[in-house]
Structure 1
Amino acid sequence: MEILSWKPFVSGGIASIAAELGTVNVLLLSIGTFPIDLTKTRLQIQGQVSDAAHSQLKYRGMIHAIVTITKEEGVKALYSGIAPAVLRQATYGTIKLGCYHAFKRILAGNAEDETLLTNVISAVAAGGLAAAIANPTDVLKVRMQVGTPSTVSSRGMFSSFADIYKMEGFRGLYRGVGPNTQRAAVVVGVELSMYDWIKQKLLRAKLVEDTMNTHFLCGMFAGFAGAVASNPIDVIKSRLMNQRLLKAGVSTVYKGSVDCARQTIKTEGFMALYKGFIPLYFRLGPWNIIFFVVFEQCRLAFS
C-alpha cells in the first residue's frame, strides 16, 4: 500500500491548473471558465447595506455582468486575478488531491474498502488543509477581481502580495481564512466524495464503463452538488476577503464570518447568501468536468 504516492499530487496539480485556465465554454462562446468566477465574485460583493463602497446593485446577473464589464473595462478585465488563481490551483489543487488519496489509503487500506464516509472525511480534511495554505492567493484573486483600490499593485502579482502585507500585515493575507477553509472543506468534501461515489455506483451496476464520458457525467454531478452546498460560505468568504483591515487590526465592515452572515441575512435577506449561484454553478460545472477528465487521463498516463 503506497500512501504517499507522488502521482495524485502531480495529477491533481495539472488537472487543477487546466481547469482554472479553462477550455471552451459553449454557453459563453470560448472565454473559458475564469470570467464566470469573476462575475460570481462581483455579484456576491454588490448590494451590501453594511458596506457603502459596495452597496450599489450594478449587475443584474451573470450575462449582464459580463457585458457591462466588457463594455466599461474591456475584455482584459474579465481575467483580472488570473495569475493568483493559477498560482492558487498549483498549490491548492496539488495538496488537495494528493492528501485526499493519501488520507483514503490511511482510512481504507484498499480502494475496494472505501465507503462514502471514508471519502467524505478524507476530502473534508484535504480541502480544509489545502485552502488554509493557499489563502493568500485567494485574497489577492478576490481583490483583483473586484478592483479593490490601494490593495492591488499595477507592478504585478508578487508586488500586490507585498503591498497587502505592508498595509495590513500578515493578517491581511489571511483575511477570510475561516470561511475559506470551511468552504473548501464543504466543496471538496462534497465534490470528491460524490464523484467517487457516483462513479463507483455506476461502474458496479455496469451501467457505464470507465471512460471519458463517465468522467464527464460524474464531474458535472459533482459540480452541481458542490455549488448548492458551498454558495452561502462562498458569499461570506468573498465579502470578508475583499474588506481591508485598519492598522489597528480592526475590520472595516465585518468582525468575522458569523457577523458577516448575520448582517447579510438581516439587511439583505437569507437568499443574499445565494447571490452569484448561477455563475458559481456554471463555473463549478465546467471546472469539475475539465478537472476530473484531465485528472483521470493523468492518472491513466502515470499508471
Structure 2
Amino acid sequence: MTTITVSPLEEKVSQLEPVASPARPSTRSDNTQYGLKFVGAAVSNMVASAVSNPLDIIKVRQQLRTQTPGARANAFWSVGLQMARTEGISSLMGGFTASMLREIVYSGLRLGSYEYFKDKIYTASNGALTKEGLGLKVVAASIAAAIGSALANPADLVKVRMQAYYPEGRPYRNTPHAFASIWREGGLRSLYRGVDATTVRGIVLSTSQICSYDQVKQVLKRRGILEEGIGLHLTASLFAGLVCSITSNPVDVVKVRLMTDKNRQLNGVLDCIKKIIVNEGPLAFFKGFGMCWGRLGTHTIVSFIAFERIRLLFGIDPM
C-alpha cells in the first residue's frame, strides 16, 4: 500500500516565498538590518530626549535636593518655575548637546543591539531559550544595556553636571568645555565617575522598559486584542514607561548624586545609599518620581513609536 504525504498549503507557500515569511520579511542581510536598527534606535531616542529634556533637568534638580521628602519646595512645578525665574527658560534645555551624544551611544546600543543579542543568544542556546520567553529578553537587554551605559558614561556625566544647579554660577560654558574641565579634574577616571551606578541603572531601566514593551506587544498580538500599528505601540509603550520609572528611580537618584559629587564626599555606591537612608530616609530614593515618570513615560512613548516608524521606513520587521 502506498502512502502519500501531503504538505499543508501554508508550508508550500512558505517554501516558495521565503521573503514573505514573518521571520524574513526583508531581502537585506542580517548585518545590514542590525546596523539600521542601531541608527533607528539612536535617532528615535534623540528625538525622545529632545522632547523630554525639560522634564529630565527638573528631575535631576529634584534628586539633588536634600530636604524632607514630599516638601512642597521640591515639587516639580516649584522647581520648574524657580528655574525659569532665576535662570531663564533656556535653562530647561541644559545639557542638550551632551544628551544627544549620550543617546547615540547609550540608546543606539541598548535598544539597537537588543535584537542582535537576542538572536545570537537564542542560536547559542540550542533551543533551551525560546524567542517568546521572558528569560531570553532579559538576558539580551541586560547585555546590550551594560555595554551601552558603560560606554556612554562620560556623556551621561557631562549631561548631569550641566543640568545641576550651581549657586555661584554655571562652571561650564558648553559641552566641549565641560568635557575638558572634568578631564582636568582627574582624566578618564573623572569622566567615569559613577559608572557602576550608571551601568546598574542602565540594566534595570532597559530590562524593565524593553522587555515589558516586547512582552506586552507579544501578548496583545497573540490574544488578538490589538494588531500591529500605532495603537499597539502606544499601549505597550505606556505600560513600559510606568514599569521602568518605578524600577529605575532609586538607582537614578544614586547615579545623579555620585556624578555631581565633585568633592568626593561619597565613597561609592554603598556609601551613597547609606547616607541617603540615614540623612533623608528611604523615600528619598523616589525623589523626583513624578518627573521621572513624566520624563521616562514621554521618552518611552516617543522613542518606541518613532523606532517602529523608522523600522517601517527602512523596510525592517516591527520589533
Normalising by the smaller structure, the TM-score range is 0.7 to 0.9
Partner Cα distance (1:58, 1:112) in 2 = 49
**Structure-2 change in CA distance of 1:112 and 1:262 (3 Å):** closer
CA RMSD of aligned residues (A): 2.1
Equivalent residue number for residue 54 of structure 1:
none
Equivalent residue number for residue 39 of structure 1:
58
SS of aligned partner of 1:47 = coil
Equivalent residue number for residue 48 of structure 2:
19
Q: 1:187 deviation in Å?
A: 0.2
Partner Cα distance (2:182, 2:170) in 1 = 6
Equivalent residue number for residue 64 of structure 1:
78
Matches within 5 A, 1:137-216: 137-148=155-166, 152-154=171-173, 156-216=174-234
SS of aligned partner of 1:59 = helix
The answer to whether the Cα contact below 8 Å between 1:151 and 1:160 also exists between their aligned partners in 2 is: no
2:92 to 60, 78, 82: 78
The answer to whether the Cα contact below 8 Å between 2:44 and 2:304 also exists between their aligned partners in 1 is: yes
Matches within 5 A, 1:88-99: 88-99=102-113
**1:15-53 Cα deviation digits (max 9, x unpaired):** 11111111xxxxxxxxxx11111111011001179xxxx
- 2:266 paired with 1:266: no
Gaps of 5+ in 2: 1-23
The answer to whether the Cα contact below 8 Å between 2:146 and 2:200 also exists between their aligned partners in 1 is: yes
The code of the aligned residue for 1:40 comes to K
2:118 to 104, 107, 113: 104
The code of the aligned residue for 2:279 comes to T
Equivalent residue number for residue 225 of structure 1:
243
2:258 to 240, 263, 270: 240
**Structure-2 change in CA distance of 1:117 and 1:46 (3 Å):** same
SS of aligned partner of 1:41 = helix
Partner Cα distance (1:206, 1:34) in 2 = 36
- 2:26 paired with 1:8: no
Sequence identity percentage: 32
Larger Rg: 2
Q: 1:151 deviation in Å?
A: 8.1
The answer to whether the Cα contact below 8 Å between 1:38 and 1:79 also exists between their aligned partners in 2 is: yes
SS of aligned partner of 2:74 = coil
The answer to whether the Cα contact below 8 Å between 1:236 and 1:260 also exists between their aligned partners in 2 is: yes
Q: 1:8 deviation in Å?
A: 1.3
Q: 1:112 deviation in Å?
A: 7.5
The code of the aligned residue for 1:188 comes to S
**Structure-2 change in CA distance of 1:241 and 1:151 (3 Å):** farther
Q: 1:115 deviation in Å?
A: 1.4
Equivalent residue number for residue 134 of structure 1:
152
The answer to whether the Cα contact below 8 Å between 2:61 and 2:165 also exists between their aligned partners in 1 is: no
Higher alpha-carbon deviation: 144-153 or 205-214: 144-153
Q: Please, what TM-score do these two structures have when normalized by structure 2? A: 0.83
Q: 1:124 deviation in Å?
A: 1.2
